[in-house]
Amino acid sequence: MNKFLIVGIGNIGKEYHDTRHNVGFKILDYFLEECKETYETKKYGQVAKFNFRGKSIILLKPSTFVNLSGKSVRYWLKKEKVDIKNLLVISDDLNLDFGTIRIKSKGSDGGHNGLKDISQILNTSTYPRFRFGIGGDFKKGSQSDYVLSKWNDNEISEFISLESSFIEIIKSFITSGIDVTMNKFNG
């Protein structure tokens, strides 16, 4: 059976729950809810394992904090023997306007420390990623405060309105692969 590891990047703890940096966690939660599954606390994260359309799915919310996500991703890739092409990492992106979705099969970390750590620990930047634009509306030097701050009401409404798109992107990746998913959802 084909195995997939879908990783949402975010920070653990109530204080980070509704922050911009926790986009990956939020999107993963939407998909989990759609599949009517639940997480269990496991080594290096919250994990849900289930079958979806004949595929074995592992959802992972690393407990290592954003900047150290690589250790958790590597552990679960190896433990579950998941091919790196079946890894999808979901993260926020400061370089994209709010609400912009970008799906890629590889690429740079774009200044995202979580993606940087994953690339360093896996020793490759060739793995699929799904980035959600959070915009870059902050003063120079206050990037950290911006990504760790809460959404405003308009952002929350727009984000919630995209829930079905997020779910469809993950389903498409699992059933049709990265190339079809990029062609269908980018732009």
Q: Which residue is associated with the tokens 């990746």?
A: 173
- Listed by start position, the domains of the chain span 3-185
Strands across the sheet containing 3-8: 40-42, 45-52, 55-62, 3-8, 87-93, 129-133, 101-104
For the segment 118-170, what is each residue's pLDDT rounded down to a tens digit? 999 999 999 999 999 888 777 777 677 777 878 888 888 998 999 999 999 99
For the segment 61-119, what is each residue's pLDDT rounded down to a tens digit? 999 988 899 999 999 999 999 999 999 999 999 889 899 999 999 999 888 889 999 99
Fold of the domain built from segment(s) 3-185: Rossmann fold (3.40.50)
Question: By C-alpha distance, which of 12, 2, 59, 56 is closest to 34?
Answer: 59
Which positions are catalytic? 21
